[in-house]
Structure 1
Amino acid sequence: MKMPLFKRYLVIFACFLTSLGCGTMYVYSAYAPQLTDRLGLTATQSTLIGEAGTIGISLMGIISGRIIDRFGTTIPVFCGAILLFAGYSILAMAYLNVISVIPLLCLAIWMVGFGSVLGSGASIKAASLNFPKSRGTATAFPTSAFGLSAFIFSTLGGLAFKGDTHGFLLLLGITTGALVLIGSIFIKIYPQTPENSVDGNISTISPANNDAVTIGCETEAEDEFLKTATFEQIKSRGSFIIRAKSLSSRRPSMLQIAASVMSSSLNSNTLETRSNSTSSTSLPVFPDVFNDTPQVEMSENSYLLPKNNSFSRLSQTSKRTTRPLVLAHKPSTFEVSGLELLKIKDFWSHFIITGIVSGVGQMYIYCVGFLIRALINYEDPNTSLADMQHMQSFHVGLISILSFMGRLMSGVTSDMVVKRWNLQRMWLILISLLLMLTGYASVMVISTVDNLWISSVFIGLSYGVFFGCYPAIVGELFGSTVKFSQNYGLVTSSPVIFTYIFNLIFGKVYDSHVEHDISKTKGHHAMCLIGKDCYTEAFKFGILAIVFCFLLIVYLMYRHYLFIELEKIEEQERYEQVEPPFNSYY
């Protein structure tokens, strides 16, 4: 095995260990009821504390993405280790000394969330860039470890710290901090060599190449990556949005069919055109297809689009000699990021999709402890606290192991779906939503704690399938090199909104059914004694959100299908015509 390849496999292993220490936010439901009882909190307060962790892991994902893209992987992962250790230490101290200061508890959970997203974000980016040809499989390892984390730690807590919540919190702080700290040493991004790059024939641009226009780089580091690109390279490496924008410029007649759907929200001012036409009518932007190589203007707002020439000169195309388009570019040329990302409709669509799936998934994951308590109080109120905690750990572990399996299978399968069957990765998202819908429906009908495992299986597997392939989807849509962490952080920041909404709904519904009469609750501060009716109303809202999300994904997949069909038309034209009219763009 060659040393560079061995180092890349070592990085994947380090990413796995690091993400293993970063997925413990989902263990919250294993100790949340005990924390609530000892500190005298309500269910709403408990869910709000959990929401602080979601803010750390979702909203702070935007900041962590910029940090990772700016400083690399080592520093963010190291900072993540410190935050994880500090956050769990504060929680352990608060539990031991009965400190029920909500802002302090929220700060501790926030630190855990922020530390988690720093470590996991760096792991996903390192895995993706070290194996760009199989990014779905590569990112499956850190994302699956993220899902497996809750199972491992909840199992350890159930075996070694049964009934000892303080000791369990200390275990979380020490082990997660150590795992992520070790990862900071080995997680690196190695430069791609010709044999393992996405496009083996990419060569560095030379000053003598007059057919390419040099592009100003944002940083000195990007100067090293200046290369030349043909259309095939754009198609294989460029983000989906870039390809759609490029296609819309080459085929204005097809723009109204599908390509405009993908790129219409991009700023039209990004195109600087140069026209020799004397017509006063505003014509569609169309490249100069009969000159040797069309001129290209690249700036931070332009996307591989040749400057247009007169649309009326298209009739002369077949009489001219053409040759492939050559563009000087940096890695960010193939990406959409920053403010431009916020102008794209597809970004907001995926922002909503991620938010809904995370919101409904985390509502169950964070609140399953309250579901178990409601069912047990209805069936057998004499159940001991230790047995109840053991049941909670079982469900957290079950959700975690199913999430791990879903993430691992989803990442590998998504590569197979694209490479072998030529289908969209989004098919896996549809499967994920069907599983989530089944899980939510089962929650509403299951009335005994012994059968609640069915819901945990479906919801855990659904959550894993979704996030196992979503990093690859985001990379394909918006780019997977220079600004991947920032883009992924933006897309996955939506859970902070939707998780708050769904958790708040659950808390309000649950608290509305709580019995405060101490004589009925046997000395406890508050208990819900009506079984599944304590929470079923909250899950009705979740089902409506899942159905909406399903329809939105079907719509996006249809648009994607139309775009791919247009690319197939261009490919067919290239090989059927002796001198294809659009050959200048290839």
Structure 2
Amino acid sequence: MIIAFFALLVGYLGIRQFYTDGLPEGVSDISTLSLCLLIFCGFLTGVGGNGGLVGAMNATAKSFPDKTRATANGIVISGFGLSAFLFSTVAHTFFPGNTSSFLFVLAIGTSLPMILGFLFIRPIPPPHVDPTGRLEDGSTDSPTDYGAGEGVLGTNSPTSYSHDNTSHTHLLARDVDEDEDEQVEPPIELEEEEPLVSSSAHEQFASDYVVPGQVDSLALSPSREGFARHRTHGARSTSRRSARSHVDTAQDGQRNIHGKRLFKTADFWLLFTVCSLLSGTGIMYINNVGAISQALFANNNPDYDEVKAAQWQATQVSTVSIMNCLGRIAIGVIADFTKGKLKLPRSYCMVIVATLFIISQVACFSIDSIGNLWKASALLGFAYGGLFGLFPTLVIEWFGLAHFSENWGFVSLSPMLGGNIFSIAFGRNLDSHSDDEASPAGNSTLSAAASALSSLAANATTSMLPTGEGAIHARGGLPSAHHCIIGRECYRDSIKLTMVACTVALGLGIYAGWRDTKRQRRHAARVGVPAVVIWDDEE
């Protein structure tokens, strides 16, 4: 929160200073140093926004049980989706037509809440969570199956016995038929008074239970040293099952994957790819909705008016922002309902989000009137909010809570890839249909990037343009020559690209849900198998 405070304050004030000063008299180009400083200020605003967001999400995730975690997170981060509408409304009401004041409002309005967050935001573990924080802080690293919600006894539990294991005599043989796609195996639930078990003579489960040297008692829980040793043993299974009692069935024993291990898991790259494809689609639309609305409004319109065009642009920005907020809340409720009531993995909600993206792109592709563009904006905003309302919870389920902020930070880099690729593609497509022949063809890539960035700035500032006294005077005729004014033809090819990307994301979402369901059923089947003790005489 402290880092977010300084980053937001310095970033937005720096951008405001560049805007207020402008270019020196007689200078038509910005210097390389000034451009680098301006980029750095933009970078600071991104660091600050994400820092505050992740700080709040981390505290929320650790303060609510798994069954309501997605809903709680969705409600908290819904404000992030509503921020564009909130700040544009404030600027429109109190500083009409004054972009410098608008940037000052952004600097103060985004940085001061970080101080409040620093003073008041903190994790409050639910009553059933280990108050020592062993499970959530990574001290007891005992993974479970996705969505299984099963816990393990920590080493401080009164029913858990730990000691230094020096013997290499294993009571239970190691499973040699582990599925390669399971990097972390779920624990087997055992009643407190049940003996150590294996499912059958044909399928023997791996175990951490050993006969302690010079000790007659049997270890119900391996020591940390033994556990760490077994976690690194074997390439087909990175951890071993541990026993637990039903004393505290609500206690979560979650995965703890982070650092280099995160990049070696297929789950991370699946999330990264889906998020990149879908967020890239959303960012392309949001950054360029001003250009889309202008192309539709100017097409065959002899009464083109810049003020009215700006109002239509503002309508799209507000629609996207409000639906973004609602989408984050809705997907949280849907995800918790899917897991709690339908007994399905939350990853199935990726299918819902991807489908909404596809519908929004189909709507944008087919709409040819500015009066109906709000429908595509509403669908896109809702889907975009659902994406960022769902994926943080999936990161917790797939990789654990102990290093959630770090893991989500890596996953949230994906919009940088997808957003730039699709926005540049949109800009190139827009350039190819514009009437501006002044710029050389060799600068098409730079022109496309500039188009995407300028459109983003336009969306931020035009949403505050006034409609009454003091408004920018209308200019008759068409917009400047470098704007595309032929309607849907300006961007249809770009929408085709995003429709394909969203379809690929839908397929990956279906695969993720099917795979998690398979793991869930396999885990349930193993838990229900009658228990027998296997003694290995060879050792």
Residues 1:349 and 1:227: Cα distance change in structure 2 (over 3 Å): closer
Distance 1:431 1:233 in 2: 19
Q: How does 1:465-484 map to 2 (within 5 A)?
A: 465-480=386-401, 482-484=402-404
**Paired residue for 1:47?**
none
Between 173-182 and 136-145, report the one with greater CA deviation.
173-182
Distance 2:255 2:143 in 1: 12
Q: CA deviation at 1:153?
A: 1.8
The percent identity for this pair of structures is 26
**Paired residue for 2:64?**
131
**Paired residue for 2:200?**
none
Corresponding letter in the other structure for 1:468: G
Corresponding letter in the other structure for 1:568: A
**Paired residue for 2:54?**
121
Residues 1:444 and 1:300: Cα distance change in structure 2 (over 3 Å): farther
Corresponding letter in the other structure for 1:344: T
Contact 1:515 1:521 in 2 (8 A): no
Residues 1:156 and 1:228: Cα distance change in structure 2 (over 3 Å): closer
Distance 1:108 1:145 in 2: 23
Q: CA deviation at 1:499?
A: 1.0
Residue of structure 2 aligned with 1:555, choices 492, 502, 511? 511
Residues 1:115 and 1:130: Cα distance change in structure 2 (over 3 Å): same
**Paired residue for 1:320?**
none
Contact 2:15 2:38 in 1 (8 A): yes
Q: CA deviation at 1:379?
A: 4.2
Residues 1:401 and 1:526: Cα distance change in structure 2 (over 3 Å): same
| Cα distance per residue 1:152-185 (max 9 Å; x no partner) | 1223334444433333222222212222332222
Corresponding letter in the other structure for 2:525: I
| Cα distance per residue 1:219-271 (max 9 Å; x no partner) | xx96xx856979899953679xxxxxxxxx99846524xxx213299xxxxxx
Contact 1:442 1:454 in 2 (8 A): yes
Q: CA deviation at 1:455?
A: 0.6
Residue of structure 2 aligned with 1:97, choices 21, 25, 33? 21
Residues 1:464 and 1:493: Cα distance change in structure 2 (over 3 Å): same
**Paired residue for 2:128?**
197
Count of paired positions: 434
Q: CA deviation at 1:403?
A: 1.1
**Partner SS, residue 480 of structure 2:** coil
Residue of structure 2 aligned with 1:185, choices 110, 119, 127? 119
Q: CA deviation at 1:120?
A: 0.2
Q: CA deviation at 1:552?
A: 1.1
Distance 2:495 2:329 in 1: 28
The reply to whether residue 157 of structure 1 matches residue 91 of structure 2 is: yes
Between 96-105 and 551-560, report the one with greater CA deviation.
96-105
The reply to whether residue 508 of structure 1 matches residue 408 of structure 2 is: no
Residues 1:303 and 1:497: Cα distance change in structure 2 (over 3 Å): farther
Between 562-571 and 382-391, report the one with greater CA deviation.
382-391
Corresponding letter in the other structure for 1:255: E
**Paired residue for 2:337?**
416
Residues 1:95 and 1:389: Cα distance change in structure 2 (over 3 Å): farther
Contact 1:287 1:306 in 2 (8 A): no
The reply to whether residue 490 of structure 1 matches residue 414 of structure 2 is: no
Give TM-score scaled by structure 2 length. 0.71
| Structure 1 or 2: more helix by fraction | 1
The reply to whether residue 286 of structure 1 matches residue 201 of structure 2 is: no
**Partner SS, residue 337 of structure 1:** coil
Contact 1:234 1:334 in 2 (8 A): no
**Paired residue for 1:369?**
290
Contact 1:337 1:483 in 2 (8 A): yes
Q: CA deviation at 1:383?
A: 3.8
**Paired residue for 2:178?**
255
**Partner SS, residue 182 of structure 2:** helix
Distance 1:250 1:419 in 2: 35
The reply to whether residue 83 of structure 1 matches residue 7 of structure 2 is: yes
Distance 1:390 1:450 in 2: 12
**Paired residue for 1:453?**
374
**Partner SS, residue 353 of structure 1:** helix
Distance 1:418 1:544 in 2: 29
> Which runs of no fewer than 5 residues in structure 1 stay unpaired?
1-76, 206-216, 240-248, 266-282, 309-322
**Partner SS, residue 189 of structure 1:** coil
Contact 1:435 1:459 in 2 (8 A): yes
Q: CA deviation at 1:472?
A: 1.2
Q: How does 1:517-536 map to 2 (within 5 A)?
A: 524=480, 526-536=482-492
**Paired residue for 1:236?**
149
Corresponding letter in the other structure for 2:411: V
Give TM-score scaled by structure 1 length. 0.66
**Paired residue for 1:542?**
498
Distance 1:552 1:228 in 2: 29
Residues 1:455 and 1:148: Cα distance change in structure 2 (over 3 Å): same
**Paired residue for 2:41?**
108
Distance 1:479 1:232 in 2: 11
**Paired residue for 2:520?**
564
Residues 1:145 and 1:569: Cα distance change in structure 2 (over 3 Å): same
**Partner SS, residue 295 of structure 2:** helix
| Cα distance per residue 1:29-51 (max 9 Å; x no partner) | xxxxxxxxxxxxxxxxxxxxxxx
Corresponding letter in the other structure for 2:128: S
Distance 1:375 1:113 in 2: 31
Distance 2:382 2:425 in 1: 23
Q: CA deviation at 1:102?
A: 4.0
Contact 1:262 1:345 in 2 (8 A): no
Distance 1:555 1:166 in 2: 48
Residue of structure 2 aligned with 1:389, choices 302, 310, 318? 310
Residues 1:231 and 1:541: Cα distance change in structure 2 (over 3 Å): closer
Q: Please provide the CA RMSD for this pair.
A: 3.9
Distance 2:146 2:491 in 1: 52
Residues 1:162 and 1:440: Cα distance change in structure 2 (over 3 Å): farther
Q: CA deviation at 1:557?
A: 1.5
Residues 1:298 and 1:370: Cα distance change in structure 2 (over 3 Å): farther
Residues 1:93 and 1:228: Cα distance change in structure 2 (over 3 Å): closer
**Higher-Rg member (1/2):** 2
Distance 2:534 2:495 in 1: 53
Residues 1:162 and 1:473: Cα distance change in structure 2 (over 3 Å): same
